[in-house]
Amino acid sequence: MPTVLVLGATSDIAMAIAKKFAANHYAIQLAGRNTEQLKPLQSDIHVRYNIQCTIHSFDALAFSSHKAFFGSLTPMPDITVCVFGAMENEDNAFDDFESAHRMIDTNYTGAVSILNIAAKYYSSQKQGLIVGISSVAGERGRQSKLIYGSAKAAFSAYLAGLRNKLFKDNIHVVSIKPGFVYTKMTEELQLPKLLTAQPSEVANAVYNAVQKKKNTVYVKWMWRWIMLIIRNIPEFQFKKMNL
Amino acid sequence: MKKQIANWGNYPAMESDEKTFVFDDQLHKIINETSGFIPRGNGRCYGDASLSENTISTLKYDKVLSFDIENGVFECQSGLTLDQVLEVIVPKGWFLPVTPGTKFITVGGAIGSDVHGKNHHVDGSFSNHIVDMDVVLANGDMITCSPTQHADLFEATCGGMGLTGMVTRARFRLKKIESSYIAQKQIKAKNLEEVIRLFDEYKHYTYSVAWIDCLKKGKHFGRSILILGEHAKREALNNKQKKEALQLPKKKQITFPFNLPSWVLNSVTVKAFNLLYYSKNTKKELNNIVSYEPFFYPLDAILHWNRGYGKKGFVQYQFVLPLEAKQGLIEILRRISDKGLGSFLAVLKVFGRQDSIISFPKEGFTLALDFPVRSGLFEFLDELDKVVLEYGGRLYMSKDARMKPEVMVAGYPELDKFKSIVKKYNPIGKIRSIQSDRLFLTKN
């Protein structure tokens, strides 16, 4: 039975991903900061799918602990899915560097730290698969997602580079770019129905991308075209826009 | 998030600020920050019981916590819906101890309404099968209660429409089954007298319910189809069914695509429907083996069937009358057929004994039927309420959107006890719905 490691397992998207793989007979390793919060999901997965599901303490910002964390996993995961991320108030983050720093470190630095370790291990084994949940917000820098968008842009570039680097070792890297998703993060926002995915749709996209070894996947197909347009607006025009 | 919400009857509808939670600490925070809220599950009660300016939805709090396959004890968070419970337990040879006519309700909702099923005369209501549960009170404290532990809280929470606190976890006993099939018997009854006699004759059956034609007058007044069932034993199955005796039914669902204009339902179309329904069984008695799905949840096959009643919505009227009040049942049915206001679904059932302070069931006949909302309806229902009370009956809060507080007082002799327990655990009425305010349960 292959094993999937879910990093940042307390988010709505992560929970849906864990359930999707569990339903398809993968053993699950749930990793997150608040292990107490993960216990109900662990029992749910265990009872529903009768598979092994373990809980592991993991803090994306505690970089120095990442090596020991990954080394302690038994069995070693066949697939590593990096779901954690953070979106804080952008106005506040512009004033308060602590907040900006946290967003950058959670969305980018922490991800690089743990995925470098996973990538190195998979390279040595000549097998393995990495999935990163990035965002369409990283496709082009804009004022309303100044820090979050730039951190996700860096993460997207990292995933693309990693895909290139690991190709020769037969390691595949999947980049997932959800648009709007109905989660805790977006609960107070009025989102356009057609462009907004349920966490379970993101989970299905991740699962299918893994099975078919897709490179970059947009959840909800319209986003690919929306972002194509947004990327192609000339900068002299774009900079005047209120996006 | 602020949004427009309504329960299954689509009447009334209102704007509500809905909060969701996944973890205990989030719920704690929300409760501390929110005043005047009601817990809400899947919105499958019919009227205004889970409507309030603020609602806390349990739908994301839906994890299975444990399942003792040997002894048939299931434990989950309160936002889990019964269809999800069935998916886990049926393949292992267990079934819900009690199920209402839809599987799209949450476990929390099943407790808040203390739901009953076709087996009430044998197995009682849902709360009879609860081992224990957690209730989070208005002040954020969590209390574990059971029939023996904090018994007052337990008693007032079963059927208490969420007013004592929010059920967050429940452990309940299941019913052992040999197959996921039901051995069904349908008997046509040519009038009310006959169906009442048949209920008595077949009272040893675990499941029984009758569909009744409310519009028929004269000697066929109250013509019905009595539907009886038992969980099928393995040996009753054919070879194909035997191979997959505990299989879940295949999902076949269609969606009612839009609200029907309200003129579509009138006494002519309903009479035609009833005639077809009654005539589809050509024989007096029909015996067959069916999957549990069409037996328990015939309407779940049509998603959004409530749209059939149009944009203005409908109210479901459900009352219970003591067994000896057969005359009251006749009088109410007569008024309905005279008025020509009947619905597709009039369901008659016999309840067994039940001792609880606020749950709806008590020994007697219960009738449930839908009325599309239109002018004059509420005045008519007020008249029916008088008959119900005159014969010692009462109404079901889960279906209600319009009863007057005095109807509640007259129907529930232990209402004062219920109110005092609500006051103890929810002292300032922080947990309240527009129904509880209307019925003076949380407002004086």
pLDDT band at B345 (very low <50, low <70, confident <90, very high): low
The ipTM is 0.90
Residue A225 in any domain: the answer is yes
Read off the pLDDT of each residue in A171-200 and give the average, rounded to a whole number: 89
Q: Which CA distances in Å does B270 have to B13, B291, B342, B390? A: 26, 28, 7, 29
pLDDT band at A225 (very low <50, low <70, confident <90, very high): very high
Taking an 8 Å cut-off on Cβ atoms, the answer to whether A187 and B66 are in contact is no
Chain B CB contacts of A34 below 8 Å: 23
How many Cα atoms sit within 13 Å of A122 on the Cβ side? Answer: 26
Domain total in chain A = 1
- What six digits make up the tokens of A159? 């995933």
Identify the helix (H) or strand (E) that includes residue B365.
Answer: strand B364-372
A219 pLDDT above the threshold of 90: yes
Burial class (CB in 10 A: 0-12, 13-18, 19+), A91: exposed
Q: Return the pLDDT at B272.
A: 79
Lowest mean pLDDT among A82-96, A145-159, A162-176, B340-354: B340-354
For chain B, what are the domain ranges? 2-57, 64-177, 181-404
B1 at A interface, C-beta within 8 A:
yes
Taking an 8 Å cut-off on Cβ atoms, the answer to whether A48 and B64 are in contact is yes
Structure confidence by residue, pLDDT tens digits, B245-266: 999 988 767 777 778 777 777 7
A147 pLDDT above the threshold of 70: yes
Read off the pLDDT of each residue in A83-100 and give the average, rounded to a whole number: 96
B337 pLDDT above the threshold of 90: no
Structure confidence by residue, pLDDT tens digits, A2-23: 999 999 999 999 999 999 999 9
- Are the beta carbons of A5 and A30 closer than 8 angstroms? no
A50 at B interface, C-beta within 8 A:
no
Chain A CB contacts of B67 below 8 Å: 47
Residue B230 φ/ψ, nearest 5 degrees: -135, 150
B202 at A interface, C-beta within 8 A:
no
Pick the CATH number of B64-177 from 1.20.120.530, 3.40.50.620, 3.30.465.10, 3.30.43.10: 3.30.465.10
Nearest to A73 by CA among A115, A30, A38: A30
CA B135 – CA B158 distance, rounded (Å):
11
Pick the CATH number of B181-404 from 1.10.1060.10, 3.40.50.720, 3.30.70.2520, 3.90.180.10: 3.30.70.2520
B122 pLDDT above the threshold of 90: yes
Nearest to B87 by CA among B248, B300, B294: B248
Residue A125 in any domain: the answer is yes
Give the CATH number of the domain where residue A99 resides: 3.40.50.720
**Amino acid in position B125:** S
Identify the helix (H) or strand (E) that includes residue B149.
Answer: none
pLDDT band at B340 (very low <50, low <70, confident <90, very high): confident
Of A34, A47, A189, the CB nearest to B67: A47
- Are the beta carbons of B153 and B143 closer than 8 angstroms? yes
Taking an 8 Å cut-off on Cβ atoms, the answer to whether A40 and B1 are in contact is no
Q: Which has more pLDDT, A51 or B276?
A: A51
Identify the helix (H) or strand (E) that includes residue B12.
Answer: none
pLDDT band at B158 (very low <50, low <70, confident <90, very high): very high
Structure confidence by residue, pLDDT tens digits, B316-330: 999 999 999 999 999
* Residue environment code for B276-286, b if the CB has 16+ CB neighbours within 10 A, otherwise e: eebeeeeeeee
Range of A7's domain? 3-238
Model pTM score: 0.93
Residue A243 in any domain: the answer is no
Nearest to A228 by CA among A215, A237, A218: A218
Read off the pLDDT of each residue in B414-441 and give the average, rounded to a whole number: 96
Structure confidence by residue, pLDDT tens digits, B167-195: 999 999 999 999 999 999 999 999 999 99
